[in-house]
Structure 1
Amino acid sequence: MEVSCAFPTALDSPDNIALAEQLGYARAWVYDTPQQSPDVWMTLALAAERTERIGLGPGVLVPSLRHPMVNAAATATLAALAPGRVAISFGTGFTGRRAMGYGAITWAYMESYIRAYRGLLQGEVVEWEGARMRMLHPDGHAPARPVEVPILIGALGPKGHEVAKRLGDGLYVTLQLPSFASEYSWVPYLVWGTVLDEGEATDSDHARLAAGPGWALAYHGAYEFGGPTAVRALPGGDEWMDVVERTAGEQRHLAVHSGHCVELSEADQAAWDAGGHATLQDVTMSGTRDQIRRRLDEAAARGVTEIVYQPCGPDIRAELERFLDAASG
């Protein structure tokens, strides 16, 4: 299993990616979340200039945020800056859409988008929104077509699985590991968490800062996919909902996704303090070094070929070092 990392795109992400390369991580993925992050492509370009070996890519692009020509041109640019190191993944939009009040895009839209995007990179004339277009970049403006980059697709259900099988070079997964993961030869699995010291409590300051933002995704996801009832079924869920419901319904998604993957929001902290931290090891890749090693072995047995770890907290270097040591066995 390869050991890679991910970052919730920030101004220091290029430096953190350079650090990850020094430590030995295989690949770095950054998020396409414009409502809370710098531009994903600008960040990856800066990372390409500061690194030599580590793989680079967006994990995941949300198609509705950009015209397929824009993403194709950006992909070609990154491929020129980091030849042989680029991989692209697409998803229907969890934070990248829901934090702005939209639902996920349809899989029919995803399929048509990826076909247009892939066709552009191949140098083909494609049709999009009733118009025909082709990448016209002359020499010196982009690599010659075709621009060959692997494309992974984030899917959890049967519709996404079918699109991924037809169009993808791999399956990019997070939140849960679908049963069909073993059908793919390349499966990056995005996780959050921290390596706990022997005897360290799940409510330690270190656990809260380093693994809390990943733990909070259980509440964010429960709300988006199951509504308030699903959240209230979680430990600390009542306290979480009490804070979120202070925000008017038409703006409630702003409260739900505040601090997403970066820090605990007021609602997240309320759930944590009410005992929600007890589920930390159930919903994140947290545990002692040996516990994490066993869980990674279990993930590999279910089809994961690349673990993608997102560190959190004030000491990113320490979190990257601790996880890589645990994952390396």
Structure 2
Amino acid sequence: MEVSCAFPTALDSPDNIAVAEQLGYARAWVYDTPQQSPDVWMTLALAAERTERIGLGPGVLVPSLRHPMVNAAATATLAALAPGRVVVAFGTGFTGRRAMGYRAITWSYMRSYIQAYRGLLRGEVVEWEGAKMRMLHPDGHAPARPVEVPILVGALGPKGHQVATELGDGVYVTLQLPEFIREYSWVPYLVWGTVLDEEEAVDGEHARTAGGPGWALAYHGAYEFGGPDAVRALPGGAEWMDVVERAPQDQRHLAVHRGHCVELGEADRAAWEAGGHVMLKDVTMTGTRDEVRRRLDEVAARGVTEVVFQPCGPDPRRELERFLDAATS
């Protein structure tokens, strides 16, 4: 199983990706979350300039945020800067849409989008929104078509599985491990958490800052997919909902996603302090070195071919070092 990393796109992401390359990580993914992040393509371009070996890609692009021609041109640019190192993953939009108050895009839209995007990279004439178009870049303005990059699809259910089977080179998964991933030869699995010292408490400062942002996804996901009752069923869930419900109904998504994958928001802190931290090992890849190693063996046995670890907290290098040591021991 390959060991890769991910970063919630930030101004220091290119430097962190360079560190990950030095440490030996296989690939670095960055998120397409414009409501809280710098531009994903600018960040990847800077990372390409600062690295030589590590794979690079957006994980995951949200199609509705850009015209397929824009993503195709950006992909071609990155492929020129980092030849042979680029992969692109698409998803229907969790934070990238829900944090702005939208629902996920439909899988029929995703299918049409990837078909147009692939066709553009091949140099074909495609139709989008009723118009015919193709990449017209002269020599020196982009690599010659076709531009070959692998495409992964963020799929958890049967509709996503079908699109990934038809149009993808693999599936990019997080939060769940559906049984169908065994049918794919390439399955990156995005995880959060931290490697704890022996006897280190799960409610300590290190556990909170390094593992907490990933832990908070349990509440964000429960709210988005199950509603308030699903959140209240979690330890600290009532306290989490109390904070969220102070916001006007049409602005609650802002309270839910504040600090997403970076730090604990106000609602997350309330849940943690109310005892929600007891779930840390259950909902993230958190544990001692040996515990994390066993968890990684388990997910590999279920079909994961690439673990993608997102470090959190004030010392990303330390988190990257400790996770890689656990993963490769």
Shorter chain as denominator, the TM-score bin is: over 0.9
Scaled by the length of structure 1, what TM-score is found?
Answer: 1.00
CA–CA distance in structure 1, aligned partners of residues 216 and 326 of structure 2: 23
Partner residue in 2 for 1:25: 25
Structure 2, unaligned runs of 5 or more: none
What secondary structure sits across from 1:256 in the alignment?
A: helix
Identity of aligned pairs, percent? 86
How far apart are residue 135 of structure 1 and its match? 0.2
Superposed CA deviations along residues 49-88 of structure 1, whole A, max 9, x for unmatched, are 0000000000000000000000000000000000000000
Partner residue in 1 for 2:326: 326
The residue that corresponds to 1:292 in the other structure is: 292
Q: What are the residue-to-residue correspondences of 1:88-127 with 2, within 5 Å? A: 88-127=88-127
In structure 2, how many angstroms separate the alpha carbons of the residues matched to 1:125 and 1:62? 23
Q: How far has the Cα of 1:286 moved from its partner? A: 0.2
- 1:51 is matched with 51
Q: Deviations over 1:85-142 (max 9, x none)?
A: 0000000000000000000000000000000000000000000000000000010000
Q: Which AA in structure 2 matches 1:207? A: A
TM-score, normalization by structure 2: 1.00
Work out the CA distance in 1 between the residues paired with 2:234 and 2:76. Answer: 44
Tell me how far apart the structure 1 counterparts of residues 209 and 324 of structure 2 sit (CA, whole Å): 19
What is the CA-CA distance between 1:314 and the residue it aligns to?
0.3
Name the residue aligned to 1:147. Answer: 147
The CA distance in 1 between the partners of 2:176 and 2:201, in whole Å, is 25
- For the residue of structure 2 that corresponds to 1:132, the secondary structure is strand
Quote the Cα distance in structure 2 between the aligned partners of 1:22 and 1:137: 35
In the alignment of these two chains, the number of paired residues is 329
| Deviation of the 1:234 alpha carbon | 0.2
Q: Distance in 2 between matches of 1:44 and 1:110?
A: 23
1:1-329 alignment, distance < 5 Å? 1-329=1-329
CA distance in 1: counterparts of 2:242 and 2:292, whole angstroms = 33
Deviation (angstroms), 1:8: 0.1
1:216 partner amino acid: A
Write out per-residue CA displacement over residues 246-299 of structure 1, whole angstroms, 9 at most, x where no aligned residue.
Answer: 000000000000000000001000000000000000000000000110110110
Deviation at 1:10, TM superposition (A): 0.1
Superposed CA offset, 1:188-231 (max 9, x none): 00000000111111101000000000000000000000010000
Alignment partners' CA distance in 2, 1:191 and 1:182: 18
Distance 2:230 2:117 in 1: 37
Q: SS where residue 171 of structure 1 aligns?
A: coil
Partners of 1:213 and 1:177 in 2: CA distance: 20
- Quick one: which amino acid aligns to residue 282 of structure 2? D
Query: Deviation at 1:16?
Result: 0.2
Q: Structure 1 residue runs of 4+, over 2 Å off?
A: none
**1: distance between equivalents of 2:316 and 2:210?**
9
C-alpha separation in 2, matches of 1:77 and 1:67: 16
Which secondary structure state, in structure 2, belongs to the residue aligned with residue 170 of structure 1?
coil
Q: Which amino acid aligns with 1:190?
A: L
Q: Which letter maps to 2:250? A: E
* SS of match in other structure, 1:304: coil
Q: Which runs of 5+ in 1 are unaligned?
A: none
Determine helix, strand or coil for the equivalent of 2:287.
coil
Displacement, 1:44? 0.1
SS in 2 for 1:222: helix
Q: One-letter code of the match for 1:321?
A: E
What is the CA-CA distance between 1:310 and the residue it aligns to? Answer: 0.1
Secondary structure (helix, strand or coil) at the match of 2:6 reads: strand
